[in-house]
């Protein structure tokens, strides 16, 4: 079986950019957050469970109603936890099925919540992409048109970088340019054995 490497980073750290580099170097990447978004629409069993929890309005014309769900779980920790308790195992199973189909000796699992959900425990090693807060904020402002304050609010809700740095096996410092980012990525992935 391939070794699973967790790939993570806070908002605007550059983890998706690193994931694309990893694919260019020939290693498969599972995008957990993207897959979770697909699974809520594709998995009928999951759909029923979500409707039981949140009501039929969780789906509109058969499609997951993200806005309704977000409003419903906003400021309701218990409900959010129940929702996650339904979605996370479905993603885990989807990931396990995906891993079985891979033929490389290393596979990467990209997820924003690697350490928060303790998913690093199910990985052989972890790679953290990190950058200064103001650099991350600027990148997200440019990418999404968010204000500094909006990005800051999201960063405040995430695990502090210093805590993630302690937990990660490998750290990529994304404070400069894309060439440097790619070079660091290459060094790390080919050093893992």
DSSP letter at 57? G
Smaller CB distance to ligand ATP: residue 15 or 35? 15
Q: Shortest approach of ligand ATP to residue 62 CB, angstroms?
A: 27
Pick the closest to residue 72 from 53, 47, 44 (CA basis): 53
Residue ranges binding ligand ATP (CB under 6 A): 9, 11-17, 112, 139-140, 143, 174, 177-178, 181
Distance, CA of 85 to CA of 79 (rounded, Å) = 10
Sorted by sequence, the CB contacts under 8 Å of residue 187 that are 6+ apart come out as none
Per the CB < 8 A criterion, the answer to whether 79 and 53 are in contact is yes
Distance, CA of 193 to CA of 180 (rounded, Å) = 22
Smaller CB distance to ligand ATP: residue 72 or 109? 109
Smaller CB distance to ligand ATP: residue 29 or 181? 181
For strands 63-64 and 3-9, give the pairing. Answer: unpaired
Smaller CB distance to ligand ATP: residue 143 or 157? 143
Q: Shortest approach of ligand ATP to residue 7 CB, angstroms?
A: 10
Q: Which residues are annotated as a binding site?
A: 12-17
φ, ψ for residue 117, nearest 5 deg: -95, 5
Q: Shortest approach of ligand ATP to residue 80 CB, angstroms?
A: 19
Q: Which residues are annotated as a binding site for ATP?
A: 12-17
Show the tokens assigned to 66.
């993200």
Q: Shortest approach of ligand ATP to residue 70 CB, angstroms?
A: 17
């Amino acid at each position: 079986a391939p070794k699973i490497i967790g790939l993570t980073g806070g908002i605007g750290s550059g983890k998706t950019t690193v994931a694309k580099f990893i694919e260019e170097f020939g290693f498969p990447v599972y995008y957990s957050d993207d897959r979770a978004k697909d699974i809520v629409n594709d998995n009928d069993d999951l759909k029923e469970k979500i409707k039981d929890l949140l009501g039929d309005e969780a789906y509109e014309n058969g499609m997951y109603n993200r806005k309704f769900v977000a409003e419903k779980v906003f400021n309701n920790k218990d409900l959010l936890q129940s929702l996650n308790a339904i979605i996370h195992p479905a993603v885990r199973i989807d990931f396990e099925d995906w891993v079985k189909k891979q033929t490389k000796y290393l596979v990467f699992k990209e997820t924003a919540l690697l350490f928060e959900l303790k998913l690093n425990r199910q990985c052989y090693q972890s790679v953290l992409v990190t950058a200064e807060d103001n650099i991350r904020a600027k990148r997200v402002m440019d990418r999404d048109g968010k204000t500094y304050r909006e990005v800051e609010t999201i960063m405040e809700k995430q695990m502090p970088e210093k805590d993630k740095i302690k937990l990660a096996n490998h750290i990529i410092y994304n404070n400069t340019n894309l060439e440097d980012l790619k070079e660091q990525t290459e060094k790390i992935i080919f050093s893992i054995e």
